[in-house]
Structure 1
Amino acid sequence: MNLQSYVDAVRHELGVAAAAGGPDAEALADRLTAPLDSAIRLALLEALSDAAEEITRELAPASVEVRLRGRDPEFTVSAGAEAEHEPVHPVPESDDDGGGTWRVTLRLPESLRSPVDAAARAEGLSVNAWLVRAVASALGGRRRPRGNTDRFFSGWVH
């Protein structure tokens, strides 16, 4: 997937907006476009990674990964090796945010890196997807009871 067309579209829109501000604004926009290239690419990659993570949860035991080849992302879809060998522990949906994601920093001992990488690779999963499954399995499907008081909404309102 070539991200350059998306980056160029944002650059163009910045130029159009700057043109309304006059020559000084246009000059500033020209100076900002080079540093913005990396920021736009990073934001697009994060969005693609989040999308792949969400799709992986829906496709279990299959998974979708975003991999970089040079500067461009590629999607890899795997059927999931455990589908043939053992039962799958379903990943429980979140009770309070409609299936959204939660970011957490997890610090593990370096000695676990190799075994975790190997286990994820053996199951055809990303390390993140493998860890989500491990947590879901450890919880044994325990879920909070649903109730109207524990719901919240997020997003933008105009």
Structure 2
Amino acid sequence: MDLNPYVDDLQHRLAVAAELGGDEALDLARRLSAPLDAATRLVLLEALSAAAGEITAELAPGSVDVRLRGRDPEFVVTAAATTTFEPASDLSAAAALPAAVPLDEAAATSRTTLRLPDQLKAQVEQAAARDGVSVNTWLVRAIAAAVAPAPGQRPTDTRPAEGDANRVTGWVR
């Protein structure tokens, strides 16, 4: 995206406004135009980044990123996966979960807020109804199946190593 037309337009508007103040004001406006170029571009980039963040929140799980190519911003749109989510086939381990991963129904539980795109929520509700369980039960089974080690794979130890009590590992988006 070429920012030059926007920066040039702002400089032109500054010059037009300065003409009202006479020759001295017009000269000052011309001298200020060059240093304001970088500041104007930075403000425009911040606005574009904020807009991309808002669009990403609406597109989840897709995203929009703003990247710089030289002095010009470039939008990179990552669409959501085009494959459809078929819970019955993709999470077949979730259906067989009671045999594979015993869940202690009497164990303490925690409440977690989960935000899902409306389309995914509808698919989860359909899958839960198809399996004859509640959405909560279906999600617990799916999560348990996803975190269960694959057959033949040793479980990973998630405890921090001694002396690493303040270390945090993981990933962010």
What is the TM-score with the length of structure 1 in the denominator? Answer: 0.54
What 5-or-longer segments of structure 2 have no aligned partner? 91-113, 118-165
For 1:26, the aligned partner's letter is L
Q: Equivalences for 1:13-52 in 2 at 5 Å? A: 13-52=13-52
Q: Equivalences for 1:6-155 in 2 at 5 Å? A: 6-80=6-80, 89-90=114-115, 116=171, 130=173
- Ranked by relative contact order (alpha carbons within 8 Å, sequence separation 6 or more), the top structure is 1
1:68/1:74 contact within 8 Å kept: yes
- Helix, strand or coil at the partner of 1:21: coil
- Helix, strand or coil at the partner of 1:51: helix
1:60 Cα deviation from its structure 2 partner: 0.3
2 CA distance for matches of 1:53 and 1:111?
25
Q: 1:84 to 1:70 in 2, by over 3 A?
A: farther
1:57/1:91 contact within 8 Å kept: no
Tell me the number of residue pairs that the alignment of Structure 1 and Structure 2 aligns. Answer: 98
1:90 Cα deviation from its structure 2 partner: 2.4
Misfit runs of 4+, over 3 Å: 83-86, 109-112
**1:52-102 Cα deviation digits (max 9, x unpaired):** 000000000000000100000110111245x8789xx5279xxxxxxxxxx
2 CA distance for matches of 1:110 and 1:74?
35
Structure having the higher Rg: 2
For 1:45, the aligned partner's letter is L
1:18 Cα deviation from its structure 2 partner: 0.4
Identity %: 57
What is the TM-score with the length of structure 2 in the denominator? Answer: 0.50
What 5-or-longer segments of structure 1 have no aligned partner? 93-108, 121-129, 131-158
